[in-house]
Amino acid sequence: MKNTLNYVRPNILALAPYSTARDEFKGGDISVWLDANESPYDNGVNRYPDPHQHELKQHIAGLKGVRPEQIFVGGAGSDEAIDLVYRVFCRPGEDNVVAIAPSYGVYSVAAAINDVEFREVQLRSDFSLPVNRLLKAADPRTKVIWICSPNNPTANAFPRADIARLAEAFDGIVVVDEAYIDFSERGSMLDVLDSYPNVIVLQTFSKAWGLASLRLGMAFASEEIAAIFSRVKYPYNVNGPTQRKVIEHIVNDNINIAENVAEIIRERDALAAALREMPMVREVYHSDANFLLVKFDAPDAVYDYLVDNGVIVRNRSRLLACEGCLRITVGTPEENIRVITLLKEYTQQ
């Protein structure tokens, strides 16, 4: 069993975290709070939120089937956890990370901010995971391998066995970003955390749960890594209204979320079928996410036509391995019909 604390930067292990009086408070009937220099006038948000999100983590643990001690909650979606991975494991100017390409752009941006070398390994031509090449790209200073599954922008999820093989062979941290996992049949890696303590799984409430504006992301890891993340994060990184709102959705919206996900999957498949019938579409790639990667004959012209008619998609045609491609998010049935109608009109110009 790998000791994940061996991967943590020594200065982080030695860090004495910022402590509030409420961290030190061990119980008792307190009715007057004069410890944090807050305003005493109650307006619903005058008090600092729970810095450790205890109640929220209990609800997330029940939802995801993990222990509360395995959870880190971030207030900037998954991006806060991505940045913490660099700060916890990578020495600036010395260490490096390896990532698949093409993939989510924040991994490389966060590497640059933290002065960490970023090594990209291209997916195979069918967008499958090149496990051996990822391992060959690593050296003794490689601290992290980034895997986005389902991947953005290619939309495909990778076999769990491939990711597990990577975690077994790599002497470092494997981060699996599962922002789109609710739309995939592959299944999450959450159930391997106890078997592979060097795996960190990222998830979010922004996609399937429809809470993108709240910016709440999650990292699931060994209890040791989750505790380190909690020590390094800023004290009140998730505001009180967000904590309360997410708890409300977990308690009340499970059935609605499942129905929404099912509809998005149906709409995704119907949209893909309609696109495959269009003469200017070269390929619609398989999707395990809530979007499609679509190769067009003239992607820039199609993109401009959609924008001119009030529909914005993502132009990925200049990205290596995504030449000619637009990324189209699956919308409501009405929005998807609008896209199909516009593309049919485009072909008749």
User: DSSP character for 49?
Assistant: P
CATH classification at residue 334: 3.90.1150.10
Helix residue spans in 38-121 (DSSP H): 54-64, 79-89, 106-113
When pLDDT is cut at 50, 70 and 90, the band that residue 58 belongs to is very high
Which amino acid, one-letter code, is at 241? P
* 58: phi then psi, degrees, rounded to nearest 5: -60, -40
Reported as a single tens digit per residue, the pLDDT across 73-116 is: 998 889 999 999 999 999 999 999 999 999 999 999 999 999 99
Residues 72 and 114 in one domain: yes
Reported as half-sphere exposure (CB side, CA atoms, 13 A), residue 156 has a value of 17
When pLDDT is cut at 50, 70 and 90, the band that residue 255 belongs to is confident
Residues 128 and 218 in one domain: yes
CATH classification at residue 181: 3.40.640.10
Q: Quick check: is 27 in a domain?
A: no
* Model pTM score: 0.95
When pLDDT is cut at 50, 70 and 90, the band that residue 4 belongs to is confident
Angle, in degrees to the nearest 10, between helices 254-276 and 240-252: 80
Q: What value does the mean pLDDT of the chain take?
A: 95
When pLDDT is cut at 50, 70 and 90, the band that residue 328 belongs to is very high
Distance of CA 226 to the CA centre of its chain: 16
State how many domains the chain has. Answer: 2
When pLDDT is cut at 50, 70 and 90, the band that residue 278 belongs to is very high
- % helix, strand, coil for the chain, step of 5: 40, 15, 40
Q: Quick check: is 209 in a domain?
A: yes
Q: Quick check: is 41 in a domain?
A: no
Return the pLDDT at 27: 67
Burial of residue 320 (CB within 10 Å: 0-12, 13-18, 19+) is: exposed
Domain finish residue from 252, 280, 312:
252
Return the pLDDT at 21: 72
Tokens of 67: 């222990």
Which of 148-152, 234-238, 256-260 tops mean pLDDT?
Answer: 148-152
Query: Which residues constitute the domain of residue 172?
Result: 4-19+47-252
